A and B are shown apart, each in its own frame.
Chain A
Amino acid sequence: MTRGNFGNHWMAEEREKRLVLAAQQGDRQAFLSLVKHYQRQVYGLAYALTRDHDHAADLAHDAFRRAWAGIKGIPEGKRFFPWLLRTTRNLSLTHARRRAGEPTSMTALGRIPVAPESEDADAYRLMLETLRELRPDEQMALALRVVERLPYEEIARLLDHSAGITLARLSSARGVLLARAGQGGGGSV
């Protein structure tokens, strides 16, 4: 299994600045270079937030389109990548609200390492259901930590907060997942 798309996630700062500047002046090719560099990370994050290929692709596409529309608004001195990730997070929130009434997409169950009819698959199914209850920030922290194996400091840098908040979000998410699995995880958080 391929693990993580964030191995070389940071584009060289000078190059990114140059591309962002060109994109701000309307250079589509420069923006496509940014898309090409960051599409795996954005798609990976979108998939972790939606657990569905089609939704993740739509979400990643919308995130880049919104980035193109608002690239002139990137704050001075801020990197493009964290800004893009936060855009993805906000879109995922909208996405989650829009699809709140729909049943959970179970397409991810097609890749689980157990027989779909077995009892073990129920754990995966329950996990998919419970993931929808987590807040997007918690889901992002889980995605960046569990899938990408990023350290807390790196997650904090990407999401623009402190490492303590990363720990709190991860703990909170894991506590909810534990509690929903019927093992109790709340109380002593």
Chain B
Amino acid sequence: MIHLTLHQLSAHLDGELAEASTELVRRHLSQCSECTERFALIEAQEEILECLLNHDPGEAFFDYFVDNFDFSSRKSAPRRWPRPAATPIDARDPEGEGVSPTESAESPFAASATPIEHDPARLIPNQATPVGEPSPPPPSMSESEPVSVEHRNPAPIQAPIAVQVPAPRPVSVAAPVPVAPRVAESGRPASPTLYGRRAEDRKPPARWPMAAGWIVAGIVGVIALSVAFVGTRQRVAPLPIPTVATPPPPEVVSDAPAEQVATVSQPEEAIATAPADTLVPPVEVAAVVDAAADPEPAAPSAPTVETRPKVEPSKSVEPPPAREPARRAPIEPPPAPRPPRHMVPVRTIITKTTTAPEPSAPTPTPSAPSSSERDRLPSPSAATVAREMAHAKDLSLVAARTMTAPAFESAAEAWETLLPRLSESPESEAIARREIAQARFQAWAVEGTPGRRELAITAARAYLLYAPPGPDRDQGWTWLGRLKR
């Protein structure tokens, strides 16, 4: 059975579907327990949201707001706003105009709902304050707001408590769990209610661990820049390479600077300490040799084997694989860790890629197989298809979250790639085509171009060929209608 999408459930919940579609959705919900359960969850969620997002501060607040409006453009300090009187939710609506979740028979909390007692100690302090009086600082007040503890607690505060240093925490953006002096320690009695339990969550965040994190990040950045700069200098600096490259008698090398002589006289250390850009792996050597043998050689200034390496292996070091075999034989994959690609002179890379294609190695390419290749492929296992479907669904979800045209297009392409593998399962194919049509349509809706419109129309038409009668099919027609309009 094809389930209702979240779009359909949302639109049905909000009463935004057409009559025919509403009837179809109702019929589906009467038959599908999964969708019914999902719909009930959304409804319950709506009640919670309505309670959390709605707030009436009272007329006094709005009078104050207008009377004390600040026209100045400069940034002012956080102001003290009058707060509404504490009115528990069950006492706020005596006429029963609003719908409280506790009053609703469908409320998930109907059985266990407990009205809030009219006990100011159980209410949040800033709401228990009558309008017009100076309000106490809220527990979630940031550090910039002075907390006048003495106001609430006549006992003098002990200095060690006031200057208690919070424990360091790991520098992490995703874990904003500050550890700060407890409010209870600073004079406010710890409450056994929600306040007491959640007091740690409302501590002002510790600043200095964040500052330390920034300092560490700065130091690391400076070091990285320095390393990069030194590497650049070493690459750019002219090297007395020819004298080093040829198997030299010591006298020849003696023309080089002192440190070069030392390097050659201690080749093992030199290789161990040589910058990565001076070490040429065998594959690069062979490529360059092949490039040199090409009838259209590179420019005369192109680096050659003899002029490039700064340090050649001498008799005490294992030489790289012999050059002669490397010139003829297929290139083996490099045995040793290669220096990063960007450390090889650019000209060498260009030469290699243009004139010396690697003859061996049927390396698998990530591109999608052609249709003929696809026919020859063994049919993928169900697990593979399921995994790919999950991946495509993830992309669809990401696209729905980001609401960008490229994301929708990526999702559509993922589903299209998957489509040939679903030919044996009409139901899965219908799902895939619906996702493609939806993603193409959304891409066009977010950022409409003629090309996207054409793709979306094609996808919608293809989907309508597979869509079963019902709301999904209606949705396809809706997309098509909007696209043509």
A interface with B by C-beta (< 8 Å): 1-4, 28, 31-32, 35-36, 39-40, 43-44, 47-48, 51-54, 56-58, 60-61, 64-65, 68-69, 100-121, 123-124, 127-128, 131, 135, 137, 142-143, 145-147, 151-152, 162-165, 167-172, 174-178, 181, 183, 185-189
Contacts and interface: CB of A to CB of B under 8 A. Distances in A.
Interface residues of B, number: 91
Contacts of B140: 52, 102-103, 105-107
Nearest 8 pairs between A and B by C-beta?
A: A1-B98, A110-B124, A116-B194, A48-B53, A57-B81, A115-B114, A2-B56, A103-B201
B393 to A, nearest CB: 5
A114 B48 CA distance: 11
B78 A107 contact: no
B10 interface: yes
Interface in B48-107: 48-57, 61-62, 65-66, 69-73, 78-79, 81, 83-84, 86, 88-90, 92-93, 97-102
Nearest to B117: A115
Interface string B153-176: 000000000000000000001001
Contacts of A54: 78, 81, 126, 138
B232 interface: no
B90 A113 contact: yes
A19 B201 CA distance: 45
A102 B205 contact: yes
A127 B98 contact: no
Interface stretch (B258-266, B290-298, B395-403, B419-427): B395-403
Contacts of B84: 53
Given A112-B51, A175-B400, A183-B38, A61 B69 contact: yes
Contacts of B42: 174, 178
A171 B10 contact: yes
B178 interface: yes
A146 to B, nearest CB: 5
A168 B397 CA distance: 11
B52 A51 contact: yes
A172 B400 contact: yes
A34 B102 CA distance: 37
A97 B155 CA distance: 38
Instruction: Point out which of A31, A115, A178 has the most chain B C-beta atoms below 10 A from its C-beta.
Output: A115
B88 to A, nearest CB: 7
B36 to A, nearest CB: 13
Contacts of B3: 188
Contact of A167 (B16, B109, B203, B401): B16
A interface: dominant SS? helix
Contacts of B194: 106, 109, 116-117, 121
A182 B210 CA distance: 32
Contacts of A40: 62
A68 B54 contact: no
Given A65-B73, A113-B89, A187-B393, A106 B445 contact: no
B129 to A, nearest CB: 11
Given A1-B97, A57-B81, A142-B49, 4 more contacts: A53-B84, A69-B73, A111-B88, A175-B6
B41 A178 contact: yes
Contact of A165 (B48, B55, B92, B446): B446
7 contacts: A53-B127, A101-B205, A106-B140, A109-B124, A113-B51, A113-B116, A169-B403
B362 interface: no
Contact of A111 (B49, B61, B62, B89): B89
B95 to A, nearest CB: 11
A127 B81 contact: no
Given A47-B53, A168-B442, A178 B210 contact: no
Contacts of B92: 1-2
B269 interface: no
B46 A171 contact: no
B53 A147 contact: yes
Contact of A127 (B45, B109, B390): B45
Contacts of A57: 57, 61, 65, 79, 81
Given A113-B89, A120-B113, A103 B178 contact: yes
Interface string B233-269: 0000000000000000000000000000000000000
A162 B445 contact: yes
B115 interface: yes
